[in-house]
Structure 1
Amino acid sequence: MPNAPQLPRRDFIKNTALGVAGATLASSMLPQLAFSEKAKLAPMTVPKWKGFNFLDFFVPDPARSRKKTTEDHFRWMSDWGFDFVRIPMAYPYYLDIDYERDITPDEVYKISEKKVAEVDRLVEMANKHGLHVSLNLHRAPGYCINAGFHEPYNLWKDDEALEAFCYHWEMWAKRYKGISRELISFDLVNEPSMREDMNDQFGKREAVPGMTYRRVAGAAVKRIRSVAPDHLIMADGNNGGHEAVPELIDLGVGQSCRGYFPFEISHHRAPWVHKDPSGIPAPSWPNGPEQDRAGLEEFYQPWFDLQDAGVGVHCGECGCYKETPHDVFLAWFGDVLGVLSERGIGFSLWEMDGDFGILNSGRDDVAYEDWHGQKLDRKLLKLLQSV
C-alpha cells in the first residue's frame, strides 16, 4: 500500500494473511471485486506440477516463430513423468494485423480465429496426454518484459490498455471454460515490471507499485471468473517475476515465482541481457555467503511466507542459458529445485527443446544422448525427475 507505513515484506505478508484468514478486510480493500464468496478469499491449491514452457506463440509475428511443438514432445513428457505445460503467448501472434507497421489500439481487438485455432490444437494435444496447460500472456496489451514490438499504450497506466487486457482474458476464459480445471489454468501476465522505455531491451526496470498490480490483476480476475469461476488463475511475481506479491493475497489466485537467482548464473552471457557478453567470466556454485543453498532459502522465504498465508505457489519459469558451464548449472539448479521441492513447489523449465532445454540445448560441454534424432541432456533430465 503506497501511503501506508512500510513494514518489512515478511511482516506485511503475515499481517495481510491474518486479515484474509479472518475475512475481516474492509470492503474498501476489495475494489470492484464482485466475486462469488467461494472464490473471493480462498486461494486455490496449486499442485506440485513439473514440466516445461513451450514457445510456439512466444514471438509477436508468426512469420518469425520458432519450430512447432510435435505430439512426440508431449508423449515423451508424459512417459518421463512430467505433467505441466506452460504456453507463454505474445498476443499479437493471434491477431489479424499487418506486422510491418506499429499496431493501433483498435487492432488489439482483431482476433484471428485461424491463429487462435493453432493455440487450441496445442492445448488439445497436451491435454490428450494428460498434461495440464497454463495459458500465459507473455506479451499482454500494453506490456511485455521484452522489447521487439511497439505497444500502443501502457498496461499499468492506461485504462484503454487494461480494458483490452481484460477483453483478451475473457475471450480465453470463454474458449476454455468447458475444459476441466484439472487440464487448464490462466496465468495473467508474464513478469510484471515498470519500464522506462518498453522498446529499450536494456532499459531500467523496477517493481510495479503493489496496488497498481492489484488493480490490473483484480480487473482481469473478475472478468475471467465471470465466465470460468472455478478455474485456477496464476499471477506472476512482481519485478520480473522475482518478488512475492502480498497485495494479491485476497484475490484468491496462485502466484508464480522464478528460478533464476542468482541471475549471473541462470543468464550467463545471455545476449538479450548483456550488451557485450564476451568478457564475462564463468560463474561458480556455491560461491561464498548468499551464493549457496542457504542464500537460496533466504531469497525464497517471502514465497514460503505466501504459502503460510494460504497462497498456492508454483515456479513458472526456471533454468539456465547454455553458456553456463554444465557442472555449475547442475550444482546450482539442484539446489534451486531442492529448496522449492521441500516446500511442495513445482516448476516449469524455460523450454524443453532449445537453449535452456533438455533437448538440443547447444551446450558444448555435454555428452548428449541420441533420442529419436534429438540431442538429449540425460543428466539434466534425471535431475528434473529426481525432485
Structure 2
Amino acid sequence: MQQIKNLLNQISIINKKNTEILDATGGRFNMFRICGVNHYENTHSAILAELLNPNGTHGLKHILLESFIENLGEYFTIEKFNSKTARVKIEHSSEEGRVDILIDDNEKRAIIIENKIYAKDQPEQLIRYNRFAQMYENGYQLLYLTLFGDNASEQSSGNVPYLSISYREHIINWLEKCVLIASRSPIVRETLIQYINHLKQLTNQDMDSKNKEEITEVLSKIENLRAAQAIYQNYSATYNYLAEKYFNPKMEEFISQKGLFYHYEWSEEKYIKFYITSPKWQGKYWIGFTFESNRFHYGLCNNPNEFRISDENRIKLHENLNNLSVFSRKESNWWPFYAFLPNLTIDNWEHDIIKSDNFFNDCKDKIEKLLKALEGIKAFV
C-alpha cells in the first residue's frame, strides 16, 4: 500500500507540473472547448469538410486533401483520385440516407466518411452507404471515423468493406502535417493548433511530451509497475465508490419522493448508469441514464419485443417535450425519446459530483421534465 501511495505522489507532482506549464503558456485556452465542440458530429464534420475542401476558405487549395490521402498511406484504395477537382459536401442527402462527408472528384470517384464521435450505429448504415456508392464506378472508399478507431457494428456494416480511422491517430497526425503546410497562413495555422489541442483533450492526450517521458521513467521501475497494476485493477471500481457516496443517496431520496423506484447499475469515468421505474408503468417503460457506443444518454425506454408505444402517444410525448424546451431529441424502437449527454470527465467528477450537486441537479431537472411530459398520456399514467 505504501508503494502505491508513493507512486501516486510522484505522478501527482508530474501532473501538477504539467498543469502549471499549460496555465503559464495558455495551453488550456481553447475556443473549440469553450464553444462546446465536443460530441456534436455535425460540427466536427463541418470543420473537417472545410479543411478537406480545395475551395475552402483556408486558401490552401487541394494540398490539405492530398495530405489527408497521403496520411492514409497504403490503406487508401482509390486509384487516381483527383484532389484538384474534388467537391466536398456535408450531410449529403441520398435515397440511402444522409452521408456525413462526401468527397467527389467529379471523375466518378468518391471518399465517403461516416463520422461517429459518440453516436450509435444505425441499422445497415454502412450497407446503405455502400449501395449509394455504386454510382462511383471508377472507385470509392468508405471511411468509418471515431475518436479511438472503433469498428462499426455488424448490424451496420454487414460484409461491406470499410476502413476504420480515428481522431486520436489519423486525424491528429494529418492536422499536425497541415500545421506545417499552413506555416505562412498564421490564422489557419493557429486555428489548426487549437483544434489539435481540443482533439487531444477529447482523446486524453493533452500532456506535455517531456512530462509523459518522466511518468514513463517513474513507472519503468519494477516496484512501481506492480503498484500501477494494482491501481489499474481498481480504477473502474473507484468511480462506483464515488457514485455510491456522493450521488446515489441524493438521487434515491429524490426518486422516492416522487413515488418511484431508483435502480443503480454501475459507474465508470464517463458515466453514471441507472434507471427509474414506476408501478404504474407495469414494467413496460422506464427512464434510463445509460452508456452505449461510447456515448452517455438518457430518455424513456421500452422493450419493443414486449410492448411498443403507439404512434399517437409518441407524437403527444414529443409535443409535450417541445413545450418544455427539451430539444436535440432522437428516437428509436427501444427509445421513444432519448437525448445525448456530455460524457463525464475527471473534472466533472471533482467539480460537479464530489464538490457540488451540479450533476445531480442536471439529472433531476431532466427527470422532472420527462415526468411532466408523460403526464396526461394514458399509456404512462
Same fold (TM over 0.5): no
Q: TM-score, normalised by structure 1?
A: 0.29
If asked which structure has higher relative contact order (CA below 8 Å, sep 6+), I would say 1
Structure 1 or 2: larger helix share? Answer: 2
Q: TM-score, normalised by structure 2?
A: 0.29
